[in-house]
Structure 1
Amino acid sequence: MPRPGQSRTTPEERLPERMALGLLFRTFPPELVDRVVAECGRAERRSRLLPARTVVYFVLAICLFEQRSYEQVAQLLTEGLAWARQERTLCTVPTTAAISRARARLGPEPLAALFTELARQSRPAGARTRCARFRQWAVLAIDGTTVDVPDTPENRARYGPSPSRPVPAPTGDSASDTVPRPGPASRSASASGSGFPQVHVVALAECGSHRITGAVLGRLPSGGPPAPLARALFTTLTHGDLLLADCGPADLELLHVARAAGAEVLWRIGLGTGLPVHVGLPDGSYLSDAPCGATGARTAVRVIEEPPYRLVTSLLDPEAAPAGLLAALYDRRWDIRTSLRDLGALSPEGPQVLRSRWPGGVEQEVWGHLLVHHTIRSLLGSA
């Protein structure tokens, strides 16, 4: 069904949209898409109207053109493939039902693998060339957001039951993988319990460039932060990284995961977190130790009091990293909110509910939005 506020356009008016698709084709060339599809075991054994490569481009296109219907995006993609002179172009515009079946065959894995591949390529030889830096460290931040998804039995089973307040029933063809998209007021209500299940996205981003270099998806655990999701991202860190984060007492147990990857940390915790004073330092900070892992072992940290919070860091030398500079540096953590706000339907301030009525499609869309964000950020970074 059409997106709210959509209007029909002439071929001439669609030129910018074709150019946007051309950028996607350039960022994700056919040989790269085909390789990732094959590595995920999604290559076709027979000729189809919608081969896997084309479905990957379609998922990217529905994320790029959020307010377009399936039919409109399919038309744009058909014209864009022909305009870009891509091989294996579509001869006819596929139906909504055919697109939904093709998306189900593809699954989310090729989109996730494509994001991992691009994140790897964007960090040649271990260098983050456009990332904000503190001394010799590249500064990164980690944070999460929740995204409303259609209230279907499949999505509730994967992401948790919807709250008790009723949700308006979707209208239109259920095969279209679409739901009515609420305005900003509805999105705010959703965050406080309007009835939509929510997928939780935890992202790792470079401060400065705002490029998202890692992400994990899952269900938000009740009663606490999603430590298992964050743990998976910590393993992508490396020597020369400095990770900024806001955490609770339990999250300190993940400190050893970041340190094992070779990264340094600068985390904010509440004043109620008990950390003993071992040695006072000239800049007002002090050395302490924090619980590290499930074995009860502890690791050395340095504590900087910044009421009503305190900062803990693995940078123990006050001369190499003075407390005042670290306190000022921590403000760069909010750069990741800029990254998340740039994510369209995934933005915490966004008014949108994802289209997909099944978990595999939800994950396809999330990875698609992350890939589109990567494309835009790469373009801005090369300007």
Structure 2
Amino acid sequence: MQPVAGPDTQGSWYRGWRLVAVDGTTFTVPDTDENDAHFGRPGTGRGDGKGAYPKAQAACLIELGTHAVFDARLEPYRVSENRLIEEMFTALKPGMLLLADRSVYSYQRWTRAAATGADLLWRVPSHLVLPPVEILADGSYIAEIAPPRKSEIAPFRVRVIEYKLPVVTDGKDELYRLIATILDPVQAPAKDLAVLYHERWDIEGFFKQIKSVQLNAERIFRSKSTDGVRQEFWAHLGVHYATMRIAVDAAHQAKLDPDRISHKDTVRIIRSRIWIPDSFPPRQSS
């Protein structure tokens, strides 16, 4: 699997950068001894209580706009989501712009992702110290981030974009702090990057398509063995990828953003076109 957006695919590009995003999620798996022993299950938050079902930790790297997944991981629940995310940095290439939420940021992960040649636009925690060294005309600024411990590694420079958005639940403003490897505001104005960052939510939509459309009503994998769960995970990604290719082709013909093509409707149409014989093998005529 690989990115599929062409040069004219809407929603997948910003000024020549291919937009990609990374995030993690969990999947519920059947309650069998094998799955429980391998994947484990979350606590309930009450003493030593355990959840009703085992869970698997997953992470995916997708192309925005098309939702094409081009790298993924599935491991036991106890494995860190960020460890899986960091493993997928090997799939990044120059010309990509990777969007990520603040839970992903660490000095090590940022430097490893940047070393691939891809550009980065990540939200960072509000407590991260970002002393300005240069104020830019568009309101963003250049900051230096030093290594977390004393070392011979030189600090690296990032561009910082700060803005506030109202929180729907309480009406208060929430501070967003983004850092980017794109230092030139002419190449990418601060307002553009602030708007662009929220395209990251596409990956949440991708996970929802897997869980709400492709899985059963209970949103639980079917496989009762660990090998079966892994095969099922990759099968669902493969089905999604194939379905996405059909939707992208339809969007291209209609000159639409692929996001405008419903994944649920595409799956429904594909299912309606699949011939299911009454019996297999065919009955012998008497």
Residue 274 (structure 1) aligned with residue 126 (structure 2): no
- 1: distance between equivalents of 2:90 and 2:7? 17
1:284 alignment partner AA: G
Structure 1's 314 and 371: CA in aligned 2 closer, same or farther, altered over 3 A? same
Match of 1:229 among 84, 90, 93: 84
Residue 381 of structure 1: CA displacement? Answer: 1.4
Match of 1:290 among 137, 141, 145: 145
Aligned to 1:265: 120
Aligned to 2:177: 310
Higher helix share: 1
- Is contact 1:344-1:369 (8 Å) kept? no
Match of 1:158 among 33, 38, 42: 38
Residue 255 (structure 1) aligned with residue 255 (structure 2): no
Match of 1:141 among 13, 21, 27: 21
Aligned to 1:209: 66
Structure 1's 336 and 350: CA in aligned 2 closer, same or farther, altered over 3 A? farther
2:81 alignment partner AA: P
Say how many residue pairs are matched: 234
SS at match of 1:283: coil
Deviations 1:72-94 (A, max 9, x none): xxxxxxxxxxxxxxxxxxxxxxx
Structure 1's 318 and 216: CA in aligned 2 closer, same or farther, altered over 3 A? same
Aligned to 1:218: 75
1:253 alignment partner AA: Q
Higher strand share: 2
- 2: distance between equivalents of 1:349 and 1:264? 38
Aligned to 2:240: 373
Aligned to 1:238: 93
Deviations 1:256-292 (A, max 9, x none): 2221211000001221222222222121111112356
SS at match of 1:278: strand
- 1: distance between equivalents of 2:241 and 2:206? 10
SS at match of 1:239: coil
- Is contact 2:57-2:78 (8 Å) kept? no
Deviations 1:132-157 (A, max 9, x none): 11111011111111110122232223
CA RMSD, 1 decimal: 2.9
Structure 1's 366 and 239: CA in aligned 2 closer, same or farther, altered over 3 A? same
Structure 1's 275 and 201: CA in aligned 2 closer, same or farther, altered over 3 A? same
Structure 1's 273 and 219: CA in aligned 2 closer, same or farther, altered over 3 A? farther
- Is contact 1:345-1:351 (8 Å) kept? no
Residue 357 (structure 1) aligned with residue 234 (structure 2): no
- 1: distance between equivalents of 2:58 and 2:104? 21
Residue 319 of structure 1: CA displacement? Answer: 1.4
1:353 alignment partner AA: I
**Unaligned stretches of 5+ in structure 1?**
1-118, 166-191
- 2: distance between equivalents of 1:332 and 1:348? 25
1:360 alignment partner AA: D
* TM-score using structure 2 length: 0.73
Residue 343 (structure 1) aligned with residue 200 (structure 2): no
**Unaligned stretches of 5+ in structure 2?**
165-174, 251-286
Structure 1's 239 and 371: CA in aligned 2 closer, same or farther, altered over 3 A? same
Structure 1's 361 and 249: CA in aligned 2 closer, same or farther, altered over 3 A? closer
* TM-score using structure 1 length: 0.55
